[in-house]
Amino acid sequence: MQSFRTEIENPIVEKDIIELERKIREFKEGKVDEEKFRSLRLARGVYGQRQHGVQMIRIKLPYGKVSSAQLHRIADVADEYSTGRLHITTRQDIQIHHVSLDRTPELWAQLEKDDITLREACGNTVRNITASETAGIDPEEAFDVSPYADATFKFFLRNPISQEMGRKFKIAFSATEKDTALTYIHDLGFIAKIQNGKRGFKVLLGGGLGSQPRHADVFYEFLASDEIIPLIESVLRIFDRHGERAKRGKARMKFLIKDLGLEAFIKLVNAERKALSQTKVNIDTTAFDIAPTFEEHSYTFDTILDATAFQYWKETNVIPQKQPGLFAIGIRVPLGDFYTDKARLLADLIKKYAADELRFTLRQNILIRHVKEALLPFFYQELTKLGFAETGYNKLIDITACPGTDTCNLGIASSTGIARELEKVIATEYKDFITTKDITIKISGCMNACGQHNMAEIGFQGMTIKSGKLVAPALQILLGGGILGDGNGRFADKVLKIPSKRGPAALREILDDFKMNALAEESFLSYYERKEKSYFYQLLKPLSDSSALAEDDYIDWGHEKPYVKAVGIGECAGVVIDLVETLFLESEEKIENASAALKDEVYSDSIYHSYAAIVNSAKALLLSAQQKTNSHATIINQFDEVFVATKKIELPDTFATFVYQIQQNEPTAIFAKSYLRDAVWFLQQLKTYRKEELTHA
């Protein structure tokens, strides 16, 4: 590890990487429990794959922004440590697969040379902050949301309140009322607004997809921009304290709001304000307000032979920017997969001719920004050479799909295989539909909805179907989802389930029916609402019969052998650690973090580390007594009942009073020192009790 220790200028990052290397070594030596190690590596972007012995690495790219140097660095890392394939996710991240666990610290160190992180790309953390890919260039936007997404990312990266929550937490920023960042399906969503000349946001709370999608509630119709980070911090504190920790399927914030009720949740959030490090956070937008600059390079391009094709490409893939004379170019990336050789050439192209910026999009595509109008023919020529000039950016043919059974442990049926087949159907049989913008097709390999299937006009979810004693891959068809705008959306209805091999036939039925019967200018969503679910159920019912499946029906798309259902352990979030001694060790680490933060005069962080240590210590003792520990609030209540009320543990007052000092005090140096002393004393009390308990057992 010494070889890269001195190469990293940021000591905090260096410590992070060295810690990962140490934990990998200890895990292989049997010194770290497997579940604890899983939690640690997930919070550092290292995710288990379906294939044994290799990892998926998720690279966290806030709001999808990438420079030429960063794209070159990602390509170099993918070639050195992986297979050279890059995968764009629906959260504007990049994933690379088939990485050896031992090499992940070195990989991370290489990425950090260009300010690219893995930290908190997975696990029970604040995941990548997403935003409209057109933020900063959209003629309809109230203002550029990029600096606000950037500030949120930086504020919560490594923040102690969001390191070990019950589950992941997702935040999105939309530039306009079209809600292109899908705020209504996020834990917290922000839509840019201007009120009385002041910047702010409509705030949405508690949305989510998965097996039980929930539409977010409106939290604020308008919240001033300097209040958004304190609000997020308050929400995260409550989620961390009250969120479910034992049952992963119920651990998202949407379930907490359902259990507490929206009013009670908001009351808890408002009560937390006193403990915050800052009540207002002004966000500097200066760096984002600077006009794009261009390098001067000569260029040549051949006469475009097919003027019709060029014009069609401009209509489907080129977007006028709010900056006069500049355009953005959308690159359709089928299934989000592209390779490092093309990535490098694209990186060179944007550096020389496009102000050195692109953004990965929520639909797994690439958006080049700041292209001069005179250069559009040249870009068309160069992108054509790379295979990046396929028409249909963000149109019907632009299908979103998660990796599914290709690499994911939770995949039930192939999502990428059926996506390829459906794209072929559209390209060859429905060319007149390619420009249709109001129909989206999204596919997920399981119910967790990483492909966002349940918010699309046409969605497919990987499942299985039985025929006698045999099992075949299947697709649940969902219809009628879509974005309605300004934080409103509609979740798709589950219509029926069909064998996977009948997916193309189902799409033909749906599109043919729409083409034949829709009113002029009627959108698919409006058509679906007019005809209703039962109509489409009857339309597709003949395809659902599984009584006499053909031999081919038992072979999933992209495979040659008969289907075998093989679902592993998912790692969408960390799991609970049930070892008492391990928890005590964790408490000691949290106390060390509290001491370091106190020394650095970051009092709010120190206080939260102390709080986490106290609750973690209590959890350890409750587990030894076989008590419930499914949320911080439950731990606090249970500890009072089991240990304080029975005088097994002596405290000056109730445990709740002892812990909730964090709510009653402002984050000052005096309180941080006092609370840290309390955390140290409390841990020692519990370790002594535990030792005596084991001695007399």
> Which pLDDT tens digit goes with each residue over 12-46?
888 888 888 888 888 888 877 777 777 778 778 88
Please classify residue 653 by burial: count the beta carbons closer than 10 Å to its beta carbon, then call 0-12 exposed, 13-18 middle and 19+ buried: exposed
The whole-angstrom distance between residue 247's C-alpha and the CA centroid of its chain comes to 20
Integer Cα distance of 682 and 690 in angstroms: 12
Q: Which domains does the chain have, with CATH numbers?
A: 2-112 (3.90.480.20), 130-287 (3.30.413.10), 306-385 (3.30.70.3340), 400-554 (3.30.413.10), 580-695 (1.20.120.330)
- The three-state secondary structure class of 334 is helix
Element of type H or E holding 338: strand 337-339
Does position 521 have pLDDT exceeding 60, yes or no? yes
* Triad 202, 206, 209: Cα angle to 5°: 115
Among 79-88, 159-168, 320-329, the least confident range: 159-168
Q: pLDDT band for 577, please (50, 70, 90 cuts).
A: very low
Q: What whole-number distance in Å separates Cα of residue 484 and Cα of residue 647? A: 57
Q: Give the residue, 448 or 142, on which the prediction is more confident.
A: 142
Helix (H) or strand (E) holding 689: helix 669-695
- 147 — pLDDT class (breaks 50, 70, 90): very high
Which residue's entry shows tokens 């918010």?
455
User: Sign (positive/negative) of CA torsion 369, 370, 375, 376?
Assistant: positive
Burial label for 510, CB within 10 Å (0-12, 13-18, 19+), is buried
Q: What percent of the chain has pLDDT over 70?
A: 95
Distance between CA 641 and CA 426 in Å, rounded? 63
520-536 average pLDDT score: 95
225 with 242: CB under 8 angstroms? no
User: Tokens 């391990």 sit at which residue?
Assistant: 582
> What average pLDDT does the segment 410-414 reach?
78
- Compute the half-sphere exposure of residue 607: CA atoms within 13 Å on the CB side of its CA: 24
Question: What residue spans of 113-164 are helical by DSSP H?
Answer: 146-156
* DSSP summary character for residue 550: -
Type of residue found at 458: I
**Res 666: pLDDT:** 93
Torsion sign (Cα): 638, 644, 650, 656:
positive
Question: Mean pLDDT throughout 323-342?
Answer: 96
Q: In this predicted structure, what is the pLDDT of residue 437?
A: 65
Question: For residues 237 and 273, what is the distance between their CA atoms, to the nearest angstrom?
Answer: 10
Q: Give the pLDDT of residue 578.
A: 38
Nearest to 292 by CA among 318, 322, 317, 329: 322
pLDDT tens per residue across span 245-264: 888 888 899 999 999 999 99
What pLDDT does 697 receive?
A: 56
Name the token pair of 638: 């249970």
Q: 466: which DSSP letter?
A: E
Looking at per-residue confidence, does 617 or 437 come out higher? 617
pLDDT of residue 115: 94
Specify the 3-state DSSP secondary structure of 685.
Answer: helix
Buried b (16+ CB within 10 A) or exposed e, 320-331: ebebeebbbbbb
End-to-end CA distance of the chain: 44
pTM, whole model, 2 decimals?
0.90
Position 574 pLDDT exceeds 50: no
Q: What percentage of the chain reaches a pLDDT higher than 90? A: 71
CA distance 507 to 423: 10
Length of the chain: 697
Cα 605 to Cα 233: distance, rounded to the nearest angstrom: 12
Q: What letter represents residue 495's amino acid?
A: V
R_g of the chain, CA atoms, integer Å: 26
Extract long-range pairs of 374-377: CB within 8 Å, 24+ residues apart.
375/299, 376/314, 376/318, 376/327, 376/329, 377/301, 377/304, 377/310
* AA letter at 658: F
